[in-house]
Amino acid sequence: MGAIGVALFLAVALAATSGGGDAVIVEHTFVVSQIKLRYLCNDTLVTLVNGQLPGPAIEVTEGDSLVVHVINKSPSGLTIHWHGVKQQLNCWADGAGMITQCPIQPNKNFTYRFNVRGQEGTLWWHAHVGCLRATIHGALLIRPRSGPNSYPFPRPHKEIPIVIGEWLGMDPIKLETRIQSSILSDEPLSATINGKLGDANNCSGVIEDNYILNVEQGKTYLLRIVNAALHSEYYVKIAGHTFTVVAADANYVKPYTTDIIAIAPGETLDALLVADASPGRYYIVANSKSMRVKTRGIVYYNPSKRSDDTQVMEPDMPGKDDAAASFYFHGNLTSLPHPLAQPVPANVDEQLFMAIDTTHMCREGGSVCGLVSRMNNISFQLPPRIPLLKAHYYHNVSSSVSTLQEFPSIIPPGLVYNDGQTSKATSVRRLRYNTTVEIVFQCPPVMYSYSNPMHLHGHDFFVLAQGHGKYDADKDMQTYNLVDPPVRNTILVPVVGWTVIRFIASNPGVWFLHCHYEKHASSGMAMAFMVENGPTLDSTLPPPPSDYPSCDDQNNGLEFE
Ligand code: C2O
């Protein structure tokens, strides 16, 4: 197809998809700077976008183009990642530090330009360098092109972002160095809902503000829930109410009614809340599955008539380390037939087994100890000087990335989790354009292990199955859901268990795959796929944008290694 052919094809495709309004350009300016926030009787200097925590929610209609000018007035280099946005033929805008670009240096600007196409629901954005995402994050709301009446569920009265975060009580830059050296001690001080700690937290008797959700009786609300926390999976409940989950990671699911939501870092969920209880006040609680932190806000009925002396109803929460409710929740999601949905690929071209784990290791005779995470015994290290995508695009990966290593497809059984075999490298796996990949993620089948929310950039994947114990192909392949598996960009691999996903590598570029727990990612639970160009112009990655950040004369700031 010649250039005119491509242009014509695009124009026709646009006309065909735009049943409602026309696609527009949505423009935002993100000014990044350091601000003091006061929580729990202490002022803490943190880095924010436009002075807000969480940062601004971006609202678009499917098919729109986004233009976000990032102006870095903070002292650290940073990137912004558009978590879950497919970025078809636009890997340059993915914003993964040292994977797709060098950080935007202090006093420098960069403009992200991308389309949000073929996805509806909730995604989010966050800094992707070091721990900065602790305070640099926000929701991305994508509405259907043909208007709110075309949701595959009753039209909600209002849409409400619920961003779950964690208040660390310290500059995230400090946290970064602590993660490298210490272990489990750095729990956050509290969880947050939309930046509020809630009244379960106080210092010297001063109670923290609650997030308040005002509702009118009988109305339906669409909660757009994001887990932006660094460290923990959360359970969310509202006393006296149920949720109906309708989408996960900007893919519709069959309506699933539940009184509890389980959401891991990186995951997003859309859930309907019907205000059908008797007028009063009800706590909305988010508590950590694995740590002691929690937060609560209040759902207020008919706020004009509220009486503040009535007792606030509190939900019963699962106990600490209750993994069953999460396993059950994740296993109950199935995809909804929808015009935007893709069929499950029937044949697999490449099968990968990924053993993922985290351990505390000491070197040099026990004097240097720290957290080491790995995938198939390789602990990932970011390339020190040139982002992988740039090296890949200019065909000099092997010469410019000295730490490079091919990610091994299988590991011989005896080698799984072998401390002696662990190496540190920039591990990548090359994929031909349009390869269908199946991955089995295996957490250590031993009691001390953790669950791991694994996130893939630039692609959604089908979640075919999950289970406990050690994956057994003969037996477990029988349980694959090839009919209506949920489609996601992040999936929680259960503790002492496994998960199988499948996707088509249809997007040329370099795409990061990593655990969304900050401690695990920064200590090496990551790898990258290098997806080659296809045979045609519309399967070839175009050149980098003209203002692509230079990697010269900079310290790459907070990059993890
Ligand atoms: Cu939400 Cu690579 O991240």
User: Does the C-beta of 266 come closer than 6 Å to ligand 1?
Assistant: yes
pLDDT at residue number 397 = 85
Q: How far is the centre of ligand 1, averaged over its atoms, from the C-alpha of 128 (Å)?
A: 7
pLDDT at residue number 416 = 56
Confidence of residue 92 (pLDDT cuts 50, 70, 90): very high
- What is the CA 69 to chain-centroid distance, rounded? 21
- The residue to which tokens 């859930």 are assigned: 271
CATH fold group of domain 350-539 = Immunoglobulin-like (2.60.40)
Q: What is the DSSP letter of 57?
A: P
pLDDT at residue number 159 = 98
CA-CA-CA-CA dihedral for 191, 196, 202, 204, to nearest 10: 130
**Lateral strand order in the sheet of 190-193:** 190-193, 158-167, 220-227, 268-274, 243-248, 251-258
Rounded CA separation 110/92 (Å) = 12
User: Does the C-beta of 137 come closer than 6 Å to ligand 1?
Assistant: no
Q: How far is the centre of ligand 1, averaged over its atoms, from the C-alpha of 516 (Å)?
A: 6
Alpha helices in 256-415 (DSSP H): 324-331, 388-393, 397-400
Rounded CA separation 340/353 (Å) = 29
Confidence of residue 375 (pLDDT cuts 50, 70, 90): very high
Where exactly are the structural domains of the chain? Answer: 350-539
Q: How many CB atoms lie within 10 A of CB 103?
A: 29
User: Does the C-beta of 126 come closer than 6 Å to ligand 1?
Assistant: yes
Q: Are the C-beta atoms of 356 and 375 separated by less than 8 Å? A: yes
Q: Are the C-beta atoms of 79 and 129 separated by less than 8 Å? A: yes
Strand pairing class (281-288; 268-274) = unpaired
pLDDT (tens digit, 9 = 90+) per residue, 502-536?
999 999 999 999 999 999 999 999 999 999 999 99
Q: Which ligand 1 atom lies nearest to the CA of residue 133?
A: 1
Q: Which ligand 1 atom lies nearest to the CA of residue 96?
A: 2
DSSP states along 374-420? EETTEEE---SSS-HHHHHHTT-HHHH-TTEEEPPS---GGGTT-GG
User: Does the C-beta of 517 come closer than 6 Å to ligand 1?
Assistant: no
Q: Containing H/E element for 174?
A: helix 172-181
SS (H, E, C) 425-474: EEEEEEECCCEEEEEEEECCCCCCCCCEEEEECCCCEEEEEEEECCCCHH
User: Does the C-beta of 96 come closer than 6 Å to ligand 1?
Assistant: yes
User: Phi and psi (nearest 5°) for 463?
Assistant: -95, 105
Structure tokens at 216: 């009118």
Q: Which amino acid appears at position 117 of this protein? A: R
- The residue to which tokens 């309907």 are assigned: 272
pLDDT (tens digit, 9 = 90+) per residue, 226-254?
999 999 999 999 999 999 999 999 999 99
User: Does the C-beta of 514 come closer than 6 Å to ligand 1?
Assistant: yes
Q: Which ligand 1 atom lies nearest to the CA of residue 266?
A: 1
**pTM to 2 decimals?**
0.93
Side-chain-facing half-sphere of 93: CA atoms under 13 Å: 26
Q: How far is the centre of ligand 1, averaged over its atoms, from the C-alpha of 83 (Å)?
A: 6
- The residue to which tokens 């994508």 are assigned: 142
User: Does the C-beta of 429 come closer than 6 Å to ligand 1?
Assistant: no
Higher pLDDT among residues 400 and 209, named by residue: 209
Residue nearest to atom 3 of ligand 1 (CA): 83
**What are the distances in angstroms from CA 166 to CA 42, 57, 170?**
16, 18, 11
User: Does the C-beta of 128 come closer than 6 Å to ligand 1?
Assistant: yes
pLDDT (tens digit, 9 = 90+) per residue, 15-47?
334 446 788 999 999 999 999 999 999 999 999
- The residue to which tokens 């949720």 are assigned: 243
Whose CA is closest to 99, among 490, 435, 527, 451? Answer: 527
User: Does the C-beta of 457 come closer than 6 Å to ligand 1?
Assistant: yes
What's the whole-number mean pLDDT along residues 462-483?
95
Residue nearest to atom 1 of ligand 1 (CA): 83
pLDDT of 420 over the 80 cut: no
Q: How far is the centre of ligand 1, averaged over its atoms, from the C-alpha of 455 (Å)?
A: 6
Confidence of residue 174 (pLDDT cuts 50, 70, 90): confident
Confidence of residue 355 (pLDDT cuts 50, 70, 90): very high
pLDDT at residue number 222 = 98
Q: How far is the centre of ligand 1, averaged over its atoms, from the C-alpha of 425 (Å)?
A: 20
pLDDT (tens digit, 9 = 90+) per residue, 292-303?
899 999 999 976
Give SS3 for 70. Answer: strand
User: Does the C-beta of 453 come closer than 6 Å to ligand 1?
Assistant: no
User: Does the C-beta of 512 come closer than 6 Å to ligand 1?
Assistant: yes
Confidence of residue 133 (pLDDT cuts 50, 70, 90): very high
Strand pairing class (435-442; 350-363) = parallel
pLDDT at residue number 362 = 77
Q: Which ligand 1 atom lies nearest to the CA of residue 512?
A: 2
Q: Are the C-beta atoms of 406 and 429 separated by less than 8 Å? A: yes
User: Does the C-beta of 127 come closer than 6 Å to ligand 1?
Assistant: no
Rounded CA separation 10/7 (Å) = 5
CA-CA-CA-CA dihedral for 416, 422, 426, 428, to nearest 10: -20
User: Cis bond leading into 152, ω under 30°?
Assistant: no
